Amino acid sequence: MKQKLPWIISVSILLLYFASNYMKQTPRTEIDYEAFGNTPVHLNGRIQPLDSVARNALLGMRYKRTFRDENGKKTPAIVWLTELMMRPDLAHERPIFRIQDEDVRSLLKLPNKPSKRSKIMIALIGPGSGKFYYSFNEIGPSLKTISEQAQQASELEDAQRSRFQKAVIQLARALSDYTGLSQSLHHGQVASFTQELNDLERFATEGIEAVNLRQQGAEYDETAFNQMMSIGFLYQGFEQSAKVLTMPRDVGGEDLEWNKTSHVLREVLREGGASETARSYSAVIDSYRTEDFKAFNENVQKLHADLRAVDSSIVSKAGVEQLFNFLEPFYIAAAGYVMAFLAVIISWIRWPEAMNKAAFGLICACAVIHTIGIIFRIYIIGYAPVINLYSSAVFVGWGAVLLAIVLEAAYKNSMGNATAAVIGFSTLLVAHHLSVGGDTLEMLRAVLDNNFWLATHVIIITLGYSATFLAGAIGFIFILMSIFSNRVDKKAARTFGNMVYGIVCFSTLFSFVGTILGGIWADQSWGRFWGWDPKENGALLIVIWNAIILHCRWGGFVRARGLMMLAIFGNVVFSWSWFGTNMLGIGLHAYGFMDEAFTYLAAFMLSQVLVIGLGALPTRFWKSQIA
């Protein structure tokens, strides 16, 4: 029992944290934000809940999925989006645009804001990013300048843009998203949307008649005609500025037809009245504006009932994605990997067996949560798990963690736990930074839209990368551990060597077969097996490097230590193929753009080379005697 106690306690802490994180996803207010966030809309080529729209939009503007309300309290994105869509005048006061580039700030003549942190906190952890946040009203006067500058910058190729120009383009994009969202449910020119619809319906016959009469050259009512024209202009503007498709309708085909809210004008004029969906939306908006929150909650329910009437599955499918947003499985798993790493460290200092068991328990729990996250993504998007750089990071980590669990189960020497924790956390951290670009659940371009190859080539090669990374991580920890501690002896060194050898074999199999399958996909879809494209070359480098490691071992050129050093260099090759090739900005695979990441990549490679250098130190300087 005593042995199991740390295991039970630590896994319980993780699960409790999981639950409490879920609980705080919606604020406890009179407004049922959870229900409203569940409302399905169509954006970026797919149906998603407003909750996702809110999170991704805020991520693109504020680089976070939450914002701080007037009291400085962390608040879910949906609260902000609801306000922006229905009462933009209030939302325009919220500082949600993060403008970090100094040149952009001085261009817009934005004042530097004082940090909200206390002096002690500033001294300890810096002023924070709070001072970079500006509201739409603060930026408002410079909208023209921004769009001019962005226009100029967008004429250049991405590689040629300066940091300032990139920042301006990003800001212009964020502003366009922002205004698009604020105009998605209502144009905001009149206070009551319901009243507007009533008036429209009453006026429709008269207005249409005036227009028809004028077209025929007969006498017509000029006031009615002019009114009809101004309504037309208003709705044309509404149509153009709205970003989200809100109104689904069943047109008999396989897919629903989705329209913007402005479509309601056509409904009134052509079909004699607004659809139920439009009516419910107007009621929701009006009750929010009049702050009748009880009615708001009822109207949201009515809206969902109408949407369900169009298609019974869209609300529940959006609900699944909302649940995924609430669970934040990747965030929880990342936190769990950190806990597991701490447990491993403690196990090296004291209570080796009990704490190592606790670490293993945590790793397994994290792996389950990690898997749940991947399953959610597959269900939501309907593709095999790896579709972009973000998901490849999530998947590489997942694969490596599973392999490490197998190693730990076989050897029980805490190496599997340590590497699983390190890789699990670092890949999810990388994924988190990749997600700042916006919606990571994106639709696939025609050429990639093929689940068979996504499920074979991409999965296999990504598992190969997982293994390469795992072998490198074992090498990394081995070298540091043997130099700075006396924990490794001759026998342990041989065991670690066997572990790395086994993983390298696995990696060779998967990366080799995966690479050739990629060539076959290329042959199938655009007629050449191998085009020396940067990403293909990157995959080839990994295969060659694995082959070199195996031949060095079979030829007897290296033993445990050399094998470790070669495996660590595998990390350099791997990180180059994974990210470096995307930074070149050429070729068919250049799907992920990234610049700042280059510094991190270089730093990572350097750290690996440094440890290889340490490994080359003569063993008499090592604390452990491995030979």
What does each C-alpha distance from 488 to 352, 407, 423 come to in angstroms? 15, 17, 22
Report residue 584: phi and psi, to 5°: -70, -25
Q: Which of residues 16-75 bind another protein (CB under 8 A)?
A: 42-46
Q: CB-wise, 277 or 508, nearer to another protein?
A: 508
Kindly state the smallest distance separating residue 148's Cβ from another protein, in Å: 24
Q: Which residue in 539, 526, 521 sits closest to 577, CA to CA?
A: 539
- Tokens 């730093």 -> residue: 603
Kindly state the smallest distance separating residue 584's Cβ from another protein, in Å: 5
Q: CB-wise, 42 or 357, nearer to another protein?
A: 42
Whole-number Å distance between alpha carbons of 621 and 618: 6
AA letter at 13: I
Paired tokens of 227: 């009114």
Kindly state the smallest distance separating residue 541's Cβ from another protein, in Å: 6
Q: Which of 581, 582, 608, 624 binds another protein (CB under 8 A)?
A: 581
Q: Which of 338, 516, 605, 609 binds another protein (CB under 8 A)?
A: 516
Q: Which of 361, 519, 570, 592 binds another protein (CB under 8 A)?
A: 519
Burial of 467 (0-12, 13-18, 19+ CB in 10 A): buried
Whole-number Å distance between alpha carbons of 562 and 315: 57
Paired tokens of 123: 């001294």
Q: Does 540 bind another protein (CB under 8 A)?
A: yes
Please compute Rg for the chain using Cα positions: 29
Contact 247, 278 (CB under 8 A): yes
Kindly state the smallest distance separating residue 485's Cβ from another protein, in Å: 26
Q: Which of 15, 517, 605, 609 binds another protein (CB under 8 A)?
A: 517
Kindly state the smallest distance separating residue 542's Cβ from another protein, in Å: 10
Contact 571, 539 (CB under 8 A): no
Paired with 134 in beta bridges are: 97
Stretch that binds another protein, among 20-28, 109-117, 128-136, 582-590 (CB under 8 A): 582-590
Q: Which residue in 29, 13, 36, 46 sits closest to 441, CA to CA?
A: 46
- Tokens 């007897």 -> residue: 556
Paired tokens of 149: 């500058």
Q: Which residue in 230, 135, 235, 246 sits closest to 188, CA to CA?
A: 235
Whole-number Å distance between alpha carbons of 428 and 328: 12
Q: CB-wise, 196 or 536, nearer to another protein?
A: 536
# of chain residues touching another protein (CB under 8 A) = 61
AA letter at 585: G
Stretch that binds another protein, among 66-74, 478-486, 583-591, 609-617 (CB under 8 A): 583-591
Stretch that binds another protein, among 174-182, 193-201, 293-301, 520-528 (CB under 8 A): 520-528
Q: Which residue in 272, 263, 107 sits closest to 203, CA to CA?
A: 272
Q: Which of 72, 252, 555, 618 binds another protein (CB under 8 A)?
A: 555
Whole-number Å distance between alpha carbons of 134 and 157: 28
Q: Does 450 bind another protein (CB under 8 A)?
A: yes
Kindly state the smallest distance separating residue 382's Cβ from another protein, in Å: 13
Q: Does 602 bind another protein (CB under 8 A)?
A: no
Q: CB-wise, 532 or 621, nearer to another protein?
A: 532
SS3 (DSSP) at 352: helix
Kindly state the smallest distance separating residue 60's Cβ from another protein, in Å: 16
Q: Which of residues 239-278 bind another protein (CB under 8 A)?
A: 245, 255, 258
Stretch that binds another protein, among 88-96, 164-172, 448-456, 615-623 (CB under 8 A): 448-456
Q: Report the C-alpha dihedral over residues 413, 418, 420, 423, rounded to 10 degrees.
A: -150
Q: Which of 22, 63, 576, 604 binds another protein (CB under 8 A)?
A: 576
Q: Which of residues 454-513 bind another protein (CB under 8 A)?
A: 498, 502, 505-506, 508-509, 512-513
Helix orientation angle between 276-289 and 77-86, rounded to the nearest 10 degrees = 100
Q: Spell out, one character per residue from 408 to 447, where the chain touches another protein: x when CB under 8 A holds, - when not.
A: --x-------------------------------xx-xxx
Kindly state the smallest distance separating residue 50's Cβ from another protein, in Å: 15
Q: Which residue in 526, 510, 481, 529 sits closest to 626, CA to CA?
A: 481
DSSP code at position 621: G
Report residue 111: phi and psi, to 5°: -75, 150
Q: Which of residues 353-412 bind another protein (CB under 8 A)?
A: 410
Q: Spell out, one character per residue from 190 to 229, where the chain touches another protein: x when CB under 8 A holds, - when not.
A: ----------------------------------------
Q: Which of residues 300-359 bind another protein (CB under 8 A)?
A: none
Q: CB-wise, 26 or 581, nearer to another protein?
A: 581
Whole-number Å distance between alpha carbons of 267 and 64: 38
Q: Which of 545, 578, 579, 622 binds another protein (CB under 8 A)?
A: 545
Kindly state the smallest distance separating residue 574's Cβ from another protein, in Å: 13
Contact 586, 534 (CB under 8 A): yes
Whole-number Å distance between alpha carbons of 511 and 458: 10
Stretch that binds another protein, among 179-187, 271-279, 334-342, 525-533 (CB under 8 A): 525-533
Q: Which of 128, 141, 382, 531 binds another protein (CB under 8 A)?
A: 531
Q: Which of 15, 35, 110, 552 binds another protein (CB under 8 A)?
A: 552
Kindly state the smallest distance separating residue 59's Cβ from another protein, in Å: 18
Kindly state the smallest distance separating residue 58's Cβ from another protein, in Å: 20
Burial of 126 (0-12, 13-18, 19+ CB in 10 A): exposed
CB neighbour list of residue 100: distance below 8 Å, 6 or more residues apart = 129, 132, 167
| Beta pairing, strands 257-259 & 247-249 | antiparallel
Whole-number Å distance between alpha carbons of 156 and 152: 8
Q: CB-wise, 231 or 573, nearer to another protein?
A: 573
Which residues would be at the binding site for another protein (CB under 8 A)?
A: 42-46, 245, 255, 258, 410, 442-443, 445-447, 449-450, 453, 498, 502, 505-506, 508-509, 512-513, 516-517, 519-520, 523-534, 537-538, 540-541, 544-545, 547-548, 551-552, 554-555, 557, 573, 576, 581, 584-587
